[in-house]
Amino acid sequence: MVRIHPSILSADFVNLERDLEKIASADGVHVDVMDAHFVPNLTFGLPMVQRIAEVTSLPIDVHLMIDDPDTWAPQYAIDRVDSVTFHAEATRDAVSLARELRARGTRASIAVKPGTLVDDVLEHLAEFDMVLVMTVEPGFGGQSFMGEMMPKVEALRGRAEELGIELALQVDGGITADTLPIAAASGADVFVAGSAVYGHSSPAERITALRDAGKGAFDTGRIDLRAIHRGIAGTGTAGSLET
Ligand code: DX5
Ligand code: ZN
């Protein structure tokens, strides 16, 4: 299934309630928390996420781009927050943090920046409900999609299938109707889009267009996903993992 999560980083923060209503047809809302330390940009923290939770009925997907998520991330596991994503590069103990998030009733998700390998995530994949593969350097909207991240997506999807676990696989950065099918064909199923949704006069139309672009990637069979996954499993990537 293709799920579209607009990122409010590209919304009007002064009219956020209005801009949340514009994306009511989405599958979730992606909320970027940045601390100006882990990334060179600053947005907002828990009080804003709490207010968003009061005014939207969409599932909230919190993307924490902050230092020390081991300390701060559990606080974000509030009502209406469907998943909390923390960065692999920032955490001391990803597995313990994921377990704590799950214990608090939210889905646990781990993110990797473009320069971070997924080997450690693959080793502990069952501990996570979602993996976020960044397709831009985190920090800013409006950057170009990095197609060279797709082998990570393919490896994660292949491993999840091998293990027989349900894993949401999210891509974030530069997602448009042109790039979404590439990520979908690689195994992603949750698509974050900031500028592609809010940069247009009708966000609702853009959500539909993105969803259709994703469905097309599966329906036309342009790329045989299962063959891709079999290929990855046969290259030695899977063989180097603990089983
Ligand atoms: C960037 C954020 C993204 C951002 C994506 O660090 O994590 O969620 O909003 O913006 P676009 O879709 O414009 O690349
Ligand atoms: Zn994000």
Q: What is the pLDDT of residues 135-162, one digit of tens each?
A: 999 999 999 999 999 999 999 999 999 9
Q: Is the pLDDT of residue 240 over 90?
A: no
- The mean-pLDDT minimum among 10-24, 37-51, 103-117, 221-235 falls in 221-235
More confident residue, 73 or 230: 73
Q: Is 125 in the pocket of ligand 1 (CB under 6 A)?
A: no
**pLDDT at site 207:** 98
For the whole model, what pTM was predicted?
A: 0.91
Give the separation between CA 22 and CA 11, rounded to whole angstroms: 10
Q: Is the pLDDT of residue 73 over 70?
A: yes
Rounded percentage of the chain residues whose pLDDT exceeds 70: 89
Alpha helix positions (H), 23-165:
46-55, 69-72, 94-103, 119-123, 150-163
**Token duo for residue 212:** 């259709």
32 assigned to active site: yes
Contact 133, 152 (CB under 8 A): yes
70 assigned to active site: no
Beta strands in the chain (DSSP E): 3-6, 29-34, 60-65, 81-87, 107-112, 130-134, 168-172, 190-193
CB burial of 136-173 (b: ≥16 within 10 Å; e: otherwise) equals bebbbbeeebbeebbbbbbbbbbbbbbeeeebbbbbbb
Q: Which atom of ligand 1 is nearest to the CA of 142?
A: 13
Total count of residues recorded for the chain = 243
Q: Is 141 in the pocket of ligand 1 (CB under 6 A)?
A: yes
**pLDDT at site 217:** 77
Q: Is the pLDDT of residue 220 over 90?
A: no
32, 35, 61, 82: the catalytic one is 32
Q: Is the pLDDT of residue 221 over 80?
A: no
**pLDDT at site 223:** 52
**pLDDT at site 224:** 52
Q: Is 30 in the pocket of ligand 1 (CB under 6 A)?
A: yes
Residue 108: beta bridge partners? Answer: 84
Give the separation between CA 68 and CA 228, rounded to whole angstroms: 36
Mean of pLDDT values over 168-179: 98
Rounded percentage of the chain residues whose pLDDT exceeds 90: 88
Residue nearest atom 10 of ligand 1, based on CA coordinates:
141
- The mean-pLDDT minimum among 88-97, 141-150, 184-193, 234-243 falls in 234-243
Q: Is the pLDDT of residue 116 over 50?
A: yes
Mean of pLDDT values over 69-82: 98
Residue nearest atom 6 of ligand 1, based on CA coordinates:
138
Angle between helices 150-163 and 225-233 (to 10 degrees): 80
- Torsions phi, psi for 139 (to 5 deg): 140, -35
More confident residue, 223 or 9: 9
Instruction: Name the superfamily (CATH) of residues 3-227.
Output: Aldolase class I (3.20.20.70)
The predicted-structure confidence for 99-111, as pLDDT tens digits, reads as follows 999 999 999 999 9
